[in-house]
Amino acid sequence: MKPLDDLTVVDLTQSVAGPVCTQLLGEMGATVLKVEPPSGDNFRHIMNGNIFAPFNHGKQSLCVDMKTEAGHSIVTELVDEADVIVESFRPGVLEKYDLDYESVRTRNEDVIYCSLSGFGRTGPYRSYPGYDPCIQAVSGLMAITGYRDRPPVRIRASLIDCGTGANAAFAIMAAVRQRDRGGDGTHIDISLFDVAISWMSYWITNYDQSGELPERAGGEGIGSAPNGVFPTGDGHIYIATLSEAMYERLCTVLDRTDLLEDERFETIDDRIDHRETLRDELIPELEAFTATELEGKLLEAGIPAGAVRTVDELLETDEHVEARSMLVDSYNPEVDETVTTAALPFRFSSGLHDGQFSSRPPKKGEHTDDILAALSYSTDEIARLHETGAVIASS
């Protein structure tokens, strides 16, 4: 038994954030019915399906044209019987179909309805489309990412999307818990913008207190020095000396204890003031090691450090990735091939979940007929729906 095996979730989302949310619910046992338009989730085809595949495990796919009367009727039946609805349409779209929260709750009063959007259901930006890199820009995140003398840069992973999906799943579980204890259904309004703003929290607090705008700092850290990305003999490494003791140990590892007597580097503030000079002193010593050699020596000395790894190194040579079972076999339905993807990042001692996915991502419309049959549509009725194009099943 899994904790959510009594929940039916209707998934009206596409792209990344919504699918991350519903995948988490599905992996905890919920029956997730992914409703896709005739063209399919719009991320099925990007990067040969390699964005779709990691975020859509544990779901059943119903492909339906909601613009047809019959298709609209099917989706209405699903949402009226659902425990949870997750949707990522722009505000105002679902009102046209009487599938917005206010309409649905008149027919399904206990429903937990999560609206996931770029900018939320209120405010002057509410109708703007939301795309992770654009949210990085308008939230202030992009302004502090990159080098001082170069334009701002995006983070090349969908961190805002994934973080929003995880926050949405948490909010849904809180709402389920409240309802189970005698509370009512509810409408959850969560946006990529709000999540990104929440992640900017300490920069916001620091500006409010100091009046100082954060600057782009490339690979440099904050609050101490040396703290940042440094070259090695064969790559790069991040080193963070966060205390006087760590700095002393770094100088010892590099056989540069003479630096401990240098008044330019006597305190943390001194080292920050002379950050570049100290960097120049250290680079020749750092380049005498490979990144992994240096990483080992620094970690053994209790100094936070991390060799900069590439994706192929994670897949092929990283022993910790292997030991943590963080890579699993999955399936890409767009190319009909087995692929490697990242496992879920949690483990339970009770055996509730071990990070492995319970089932593969579905093909577009793969479960259309099964879902219709569960709604009591007859074989003839299902055939007629296919003939009219109201629904589509995978070939």
Residues forming the active site: 161
Cα-based distances in Å from 299 to 32, 241, 308: 43, 11, 14
Determine the 3-state secondary structure of 220 from DSSP: strand
Residue with tokens 């007597």: 261
Number of CB atoms found within 10 A of residue 103's CB: 15
305-307 β-sheet, strand order: 227-231, 236-240, 305-307
Structure-token pair, residue 20: 């991350």
Residue with tokens 């003398």: 149
- Give the residue among 76, 68, 120 at the shortest CA–CA distance from 98: 76
Task: Round to whole Å and give the CA distance between 250 and 100.
Answer: 58
E strands along the chain, which residues? 8-12, 31-36, 59-64, 84-87, 112-117, 186-191, 227-231, 236-240, 305-307, 327-332, 337-342, 391-392
Number of CB atoms found within 10 A of residue 212's CB: 9
- Give the residue among 50, 113, 118 at the shortest CA–CA distance from 78: 113
In contact, 326 and 340? CB cutoff 8 Å: no
- Give the residue among 133, 128, 101, 104 at the shortest CA–CA distance from 114: 101
- Give the residue among 196, 178, 195 at the shortest CA–CA distance from 187: 178
Dihedral (Cα; 168, 170, 172, 177), 10-degree rounding: -170
Determine the 3-state secondary structure of 268 from DSSP: helix
Eight-state DSSP code of residue 265: G
Determine the 3-state secondary structure of 241 from DSSP: coil
